[in-house]
Amino acid sequence: MRPSGSGKSTLMHILGCLDFPTEGSYELGGVDVSGMDEAALANVRNAKIGFCLPTVQPAGLAQCMAQCRAAPDLCRHPPGERRQMAEAALERVGLGDRLEHRPLEMSGGQQQRVSVARALVTDPDLILADEPTGNLDSVATQEVLNLFRDLHEQGRTVLIIPHEPEVAAEAARVVHIKDGELRAQPRRRAPAPRHRPPARPPAPARLRRR
């Protein structure tokens, strides 16, 4: 959680290996990356980090498959392998039956899942999600948050930067940033229970005549 101008962009750039800290060190997966050069940082980004941005169509009106295959981290893979990796990522977020759909043929939540799939396409250890639900209604927001929880339960670290307190309430840990400093760090807690649609009431019992 943070107000505008608090240093969120700088923090995201450092965590995403897009910038260097002015002092101290940054370890990712037990490796100090703060002293690496640009080429080494690019390799770390490609292998370990996935970026999930607010709902956008990075390839214009391109189909889901084309959007995932256009992910920058896939450029070093041959075309056939890129397609396989993109298809696997889309299936992982529940869009295996919409590979050829275009953005206008999908809901807001489904479009955001395409963005998550692009972040997952290289199977990263860390996912950085900058306001991933900012343009979504409450139903689509919960859909995306449930997806992030599934990814976290699979062993990935998911860092979400939200505006909405209700989104932050879904996290296992909430950290506040203000004036470039990490301030309140509440103790780690269990994440809020997954939202489920209400169960149907049981059918009334019927008496059998003898």
pLDDT in tens, 114-171: 888 888 887 888 999 888 887 778 888 888 888 888 889 988 899 988 878 888 888 8
* pLDDT confidence bin for 208, thresholds 50/70/90: very low
The pLDDT value recorded for residue 90 is 84
Angle ∠(130,91,135) on CA atoms, nearest 5: 30
The pLDDT value recorded for residue 58 is 46
Annotate 113-150 with three-state secondary structure.
Answer: HHHHHHHHCCCCCEEEEECCCCCCCHHHHHHHHHHHHH
Kindly give, in sequence order, each residue whose CB lies less than 8 Å from that of residue 116, ignoring residues fewer than 6 positions away. 52, 93, 127, 129, 132, 144, 147, 148, 151
Q: Could you tell me the pTM of the whole model?
A: 0.73
Among left, alpha and beta (phi > 0; psi -120 to 50; other), residue 94 is: left
The pLDDT value recorded for residue 168 is 84
Lowest mean pLDDT among 32-46, 75-89, 184-198: 184-198
Q: Which residue carries 């240093």 as its tokens?
A: 7
- The alpha-helical segments, DSSP class H, found in 25-78 are 38-48, 64-69
Question: Could you tell me the maximum CA-CA distance found in the chain, to the nearest angstrom?
Answer: 84
Lowest mean pLDDT among 75-89, 112-126, 168-182: 75-89
Q: What is the pLDDT of residues 7-61, one digit of tens each?
A: 777 888 889 888 888 888 899 888 899 888 888 888 888 888 888 876 555 444 4
The pLDDT value recorded for residue 203 is 43
Kindly give, in sequence order, each residue whose CB lies less than 8 Å from that of residue 85, ignoring residues fewer than 6 positions away. 68, 74, 77, 121, 122
Q: What is the pLDDT of residues 178-190, one digit of tens each?
A: 777 777 655 555 5
The pLDDT value recorded for residue 158 is 92
Which residues are bridge partners to 126 per DSSP? Answer: 49, 157
pLDDT higher than threshold 80 for residue 68: no
Q: Are strands 177-178 and 27-28 parallel, antiparallel or unpaired?
A: unpaired
The pLDDT value recorded for residue 144 is 84
